[in-house]
Amino acid sequence: MLKLTGINVDLAGNRVLRDVECAFDRGTTVGIVGRNGAGKTTLLRTIMGLTKLRSGEIHLNGTLLSALPGHARAAHQIGYSPEDRGIFPTMSVEENLRLPCNTLKMSKRDIDTRLQVVLEVVPDLGPMLQRSGSALSGGQGKMVALGRAIMVGTRLLLLDEPFQGLAPRLSQLYTEALGRLRNLQPELCVIITESNIKLLGDMPDYIWTIERGSISLLHSRTEQ
């Protein structure tokens, strides 16, 4: 479904992604594991069109995603939860959740329907809807960033180190939310980066490792 071929990315004159070749299927949960500075964030940002390709192509189903500017990519039902959460402090939680759908000019009715799905998947967001984006703990911000990604990510979800720094209780809630999402949207492809493989538990169907910008398949669940 999502296919990266011959991806090379340079940042400040350094090669940060090297000859990346990988494919991710619909209906799978994929872990991408690598230590600090390995290139995990750059890989997700590259899929979102937030970094410039030196070479290579990214296909999503029949679309040459890499030919589209970043702002046009979310319209292909890709949700992205960045490492730094990216919650707008001057907006309420609900406004933060609605924002990517508004940007895509979805109808109010469709956005309302989507919000109900998000509240079903992440019920802990319900009591927080009117809270200011500036009044969230780091962990709560991660839950909001997950909800916001789910609002538009009906085909592909990119989660950058969601478990990093999350208290055990919130990690548990986050994992349960992903389980509910899996059941509700079995066709969804979920890509989760982490530096600590243990934080992914038994969630991923496949695990790729990334080291100095090179990616390789570690194993699939059937091989474990």
Ligand X SMILES: Nc1ncnc2c1ncn2[C@@H]1O[C@H](COP(=O)(O)OP(=O)(O)OP(=O)(O)O)[C@@H](O)[C@H]1O
Interface ranges with Mg ion (CB under 5 A): 40-41, 83
What is the Cα–Cα distance from 108 to 131, expressed in whole angstroms?
21
Q: Is 39 in the site for ligand X (CB under 6 A)?
A: yes
Query: Using CB under 6 A, which of 4, 20, 34, 147 touches ligand X?
Result: 34
Question: What H or E segment, with its residue span, contains residue 59?
Answer: strand 55-60
**C-alpha distances out from residue 189 to 13, 28, 29, 104, 184, Å:** 32, 5, 6, 21, 12
Would you say how long the chain is, in residues? 224
Contacts to ligand X from residues 181-210, by CB under 6 A: 195
User: Does the protein bind ligand X through residue 215 (CB under 6 A)?
Assistant: no
**Minimal distance, residue 124 CB to Mg ion, in Å:** 25
Distance, CA of 75 to CA of 182 (rounded, Å): 21
Question: Rounded to the nearest whole angstrom, what is the least distance from the CB of residue 186 to ligand X in the complex?
Answer: 29
Q: What's the token pair of residue 139?
A: 């962990």
By CB under 6 A, tell whether 70 contacts ligand X. Answer: no
DSSP 128: G
End-to-end CA separation in angstroms for the chain: 24
108-121 vs 168-184: helix crossing angle, rounded to 10: 130
Nearer to ligand X, 101 or 199 (CB): 199
11 is a contact residue toward ligand X (CB under 6 A): yes
Closer Cβ to Mg ion, 83 or 124, answer by number: 83
Nearer to ligand X, 38 or 203 (CB): 38
Binder among 24, 40, 153, 199 for ligand X (CB under 6 A): 40
Q: How far is the CB of 94 from Mg ion (least distance, A)?
A: 28
Q: Which two tokens stand for residue 209?
A: 């490792």
Query: Smallest gap, in angstroms, from Cβ of residue 45 to ligand X?
Result: 7
Q: How many angstroms separate the Cα of 121 from the Cα of each of 21, 55, 104?
A: 32, 38, 22
Return the number of the residue (128 or 208) whose C-beta is nearest Mg ion.
208
How many Cα neighbours within 13 Å face the side chain of 197?
10
The correct pick among 42, 46, 96, 185 for binding ligand X (CB under 6 A) is 42
Choice from 6, 23, 25, 37 touching ligand X (CB under 6 A): 37
For tokens 């548990």, what's the residue?
172
- Decide whether 16 or 200 has the Cβ nearer to ligand X: 16
Least CB distance to Mg ion at residue 42 (A): 8
Q: Which residues bind ligand X (CB under 6 A)?
A: 11-12, 16, 34, 36-42, 83, 195
